Structure 1
């Protein structure tokens, strides 16, 4: 077991390049099941979750290999298994999106239900309802979803909420279904749009990705393709918050600013400079931070995956900030750890009032989930003395070489073995 040691007080300065988006790469990797030809992906991040996805695909018969540091070839010439086991799905909930492409390719799939999640209930009922609407028979047995359909048929599907995973699962199931499928109240996230782009490159007929209505005209078969995964907007937002809390000046060379409008708006409200330039996006702060109010919402609203990082930053704002979490009911667990460092946070249901500026002091803290761990690192960058963050395996699921990137900007951060 490793921990991260952060010596606070150093402003971040310099230039950093983002990795590819984890949340885009994972479903795109599952799309390799839809063709017997190779799918070559570039800008794939070297992350624990990506390894889990490759392990799952390998178990299903896909030949999966790294071509170089960030390029992967996935070749599903034959699919030799129909089962995604509990051991892998429990490790990474995103594995459940294998259901749609596996069913579409082979006519049957047996996928473990993901089980509980630290940040709140994330049921798969929307996935199941959508797959059923395409003509699949589904049974629940021994903790597994068992789906069967000789040939899926297009249909009209309304999602009760714009679930990213459900949209992706239904989209992949529908691309080779007979006839036309319409997904209403679909998720609009950039990661969904990136999946649609690679599917179109493979021969799918899709329109409306990025809007609330996606239309798919089924085709007989898909072929291989090459695709570059989009940069990680959540890593970008995390770096923005880190630069802001330290009073730094950082340029992110490939930041997808068009995917970060809600984040940029809140940072500017807080008194942070956010400006596009020839090199990318520059984040700088020379004066104090101002309090803001924010509410997490589906895209294009403020992302729940940046709520913890923003909370950490707002501990240094001069006044009371109000954060309302509308996506996951348990996503304030990092607040207790921030309080151990001296943050003044009042919790009431789905709302947190962050009163600042607080004098943060380094302390031993524990990561409860992926994004909480980044929030605690951001707090540690601004704290006096040393912060020790344990359980950083959460961090390695979603941030590639984070300690090296932050060190290149002047942060004093290192890994060490737990005693």
Structure 2
């Protein structure tokens, strides 16, 4: 994060009336980034619609242009991106800009496809603890690629001999390694089997995209299988990025915090089910059907049941990015609630001290586990967003705090959301100051 925060990088939030109305989420950043990479891997003209206009997507598209791909946003609809490989273009030696995002490793297959080698800086993104690349490198080595590491980044050289089939056993359900294996198999046009894959909605979306591109692709909790079918297919592809499930859950929690009533549109019900089940467990009327989440916070009848929000990579588990918003919600709820996120071990360290500035008393059981006893009364103060999801949680806490809360560090928030404060404002939140 920059050492100084400009006035344009801060907003003021005053708690007040319940949030009421209807709002539509943007496309999902977490789904868009691997879909962009999948579009490059299939090597065909691809139209991706409902593309979020957040900073991380822009950061992903810029290096692709340098890597030899034609990338353009539609003049008529800026949420549509067109991607086409350009033959004969060699990437520059320095792709330093890719270091700004964690998902920069999705560029590896694109570079291997167009140039036979990929040299990238170590990935950046949210400062939420060590998330190593070792498993990714094991994936590339399974394809016969050579991986060389140095202080500034890593270098992957494509294997000279094509393997007709690759089998990979993952020691845990890593989404990044699962996607890396899928994309590497696509550029190789080989069969792939992954044992103990990640089967999150984002991975399922890539497999659905590849089926449209002429691949046989399916995944169960135990095994993922990928087989090329139509080697000569060249027709253009069109695909819509799914709605942002994290933004939908954040907005649902915001409505619940204020005891409001709202519809959050544009998100698939299955993608938010674990969070909706937790709200129902707490006694907050919330449900998802078709493409809409509905929250009737004014009818809340709190159960006093303890909430256990434990981030998990297991099928049907709680997405780690849901946990911060649930934590902000739990501060105002009766009961003793447990939170854990071992997937992003530094996230609690970013969020809990900022919530403490608002008066929150959170018992840290370890670096990744904490306990909240509620309800607690929060008071407005100046806080800083230190990562995307912590920033979202601070907006929610500000809606519950007495008085005025100033949230700075919005550059972090805008990396994942084009305008989350604006959506809250459209539901009636008293937010002043417009991020630049």
Q: What secondary structure does 2:318 align onto?
A: coil
Secondary structure in 2 matching 1:155: strand
Mapping 1:375-390, distance limit 5 Å: 375-390=393-408
Query: Aligned pair 1:282/2:294, yes or no?
Result: yes
Residue 46 (structure 2) pairs with residue 46 (structure 1):
no
Q: Indicate the residue corresponding to 1:16 in structure 2.
A: 23
The match for 2:322 is: 306
Determine the C-alpha separation between the residues in 1 that align with 2:140 and 2:43: 22
> 2 CA distance for matches of 1:159 and 1:19?
32
| Aligned equivalent of 1:204 | 215
Structure 1 position 56 matched with structure 2 position 68:
no
Is the contact made by 1:103 and 1:148 (CA closer than 8 Å) also made in structure 2? Answer: yes
| SS of residue matched to 2:178 | helix
What residue number does 2:100 align with? 91
What is the match of residue 335 of structure 1?
Answer: 352
* CA distance in 1 between partners of 2:372 and 2:92 (Å): 46
Corresponding residue number in structure 1 for 2:419: 401
Contact 1:174 1:218 in 2 (8 A): no
Give the structure-2-normalised TM-score.
0.90
User: What are the Cα deviations for residues 196-253 of structure 1, in whole angstroms up to 9, with x where unaligned?
Assistant: 2222222233222x64411112464663311011111111111111111111111112
Are 1:317 and 2:333 matched, yes or no? Answer: yes
Unpaired segments ≥5 residues, structure 1 = none
SS at match of 2:179: helix
Distance 2:193 2:318 in 1: 26
Deviations 1:253-301 (A, max 9, x none): 2232211221111111111101346772211223464341221111421
| Counterpart in the other structure of 2:3 | none
* Closer/same/farther in 2, CA of residues 206 and 151 from structure 1, 3 Å limit: farther
Q: Is the 8 A contact 1:107 1:150 kept in 2?
A: no
Q: How many residues align?
A: 417
How do 1:162-311 and structure 2 match up within 5 A? 162-177=173-188, 179-208=190-219, 211-218=221-228, 220=231, 223=234, 224-276=236-288, 280-285=292-297, 286-287=299-300, 289=302, 290=304, 291-298=306-313, 299-311=315-327
- Tell me how far apart the structure 2 counterparts of residues 106 and 259 of structure 1 sit (CA, whole Å): 36
Q: If the length of structure 1 is used for normalisation, what is the TM-score?
A: 0.93
Work out whether residues 276 and 287 of structure 2, in 8 Å CA contact, stay in contact via their aligned partners in 1: no
Q: Which runs of 5+ in 2 are unaligned?
A: 1-5
C-alpha RMSD of matched pairs (Å): 2.1
Asked whether the equivalents of residues 214 and 228 of structure 2 are also in contact (C-alpha less than 8 Å), the reply is no
Judging changes above 3 Å, is the alpha-carbon distance between structure 1 residues 63 and 216 closer, same or farther for their aligned structure 2 residues?
Answer: same
2:380 counterpart of 1:362:
yes
